[in-house]
């Protein structure tokens, strides 16, 4: 990200804003690092966007700015949740991405509720392509985890459980 918020992230942030207004004081974790040197993190860009569009003053927001992918996001979120003594979390993401979020969160033993950013899944070529990519990532995750178990690789298992 270069400091801007793309359409998909905007949908996730709008859902987060809705939850913040419905549950004042709830803890919100904005996750995501940078993709290029000198650019603000995805998390920082999200916070700036929320502040521009009516974030209540008493909002309880933490940024995680080191992660580069969904697995990193959820590993780092798990550590933040432990520090904050939070047992349950709502995972907000785009509908096409929710299955992978759930798979990884379950494997990391993060108690969660899935929350779709959009009201419905848009059925178009772009979404179908994203669903195929998600399926490949899910397959890769499951095969990798089972391979690590088969060969007894604790380091690999430690990354995904």
Is residue 52 assigned to a domain? Answer: yes
R_g of the chain computed on alpha carbons: 16
Domain membership flag for residue 92: yes
Residues 144, 109, 8, 80: what is their CA dihedral angle, to the nearest 10 degrees? -120
The answer to whether position 75 is within a domain reads: yes
Residue 1 clears pLDDT 60, i.e. is over it:
no
Residue 69, token pair as written in the block: 């992918």
What pLDDT digit, counting tens, does each position of 51-93 carry?
988 888 788 899 999 999 999 999 999 999 999 999 999 999 9
CA distance 60 to 51: 12
Query: What's the pLDDT tens digit per position in 108-142?
Result: 999 999 999 999 999 999 999 999 999 999 999 99
In this structure, is residue 146 part of a structural domain?
no
Look at residue 112 and tell me if it is in a domain.
yes
Q: Which domain holds residue 45?
A: 7-120
Give mean pLDDT, residues 96-106. Answer: 97
- Give a yes or no: residue 131 inside a domain: no
- Total count of domains within the chain: 1
In a domain, 69, yes or no: yes
pLDDT score at 3? 62
Chain mean pLDDT for the chain:
92
Give residue 26's pLDDT.
Answer: 87
Instruction: Give the CATH number of the domain where residue 23 resides.
Output: 3.40.50.620
- Looking at the domain assignment, is residue 24 inside a domain? yes
């Amino acid at each position: 990200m270069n400091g801007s918020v793309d359409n998909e992230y905007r949908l996730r942030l709008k859902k987060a804003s809705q939850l913040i207004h419905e549950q004042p004081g709830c803890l919100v974790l904005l996750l995501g690092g940078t993709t290029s040197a000198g650019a603000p993190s995805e998390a920082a860009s999200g916070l700036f966007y929320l502040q521009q569009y009516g974030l209540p003053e008493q909002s309880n927001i933490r940024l995680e700015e080191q992660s580069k992918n969904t697995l990193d996001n959820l590993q780092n979120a798990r550590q933040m949740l432990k520090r904050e003594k939070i047992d349950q979390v709502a995972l907000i993401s785009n509908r096409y991405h929710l299955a992978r979020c759930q798979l990884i969160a379950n494997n990391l033993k993060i108690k969660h509720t899935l929350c779709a950013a959009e009201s419905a899944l848009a059925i178009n070529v772009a979404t179908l392509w994203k669903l195929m990519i998600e399926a490949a990532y899910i397959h890769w995750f499951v095969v990798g985890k089972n391979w690590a178990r088969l060969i007894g690789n604790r380091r690999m298992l430690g990354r995904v459980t």
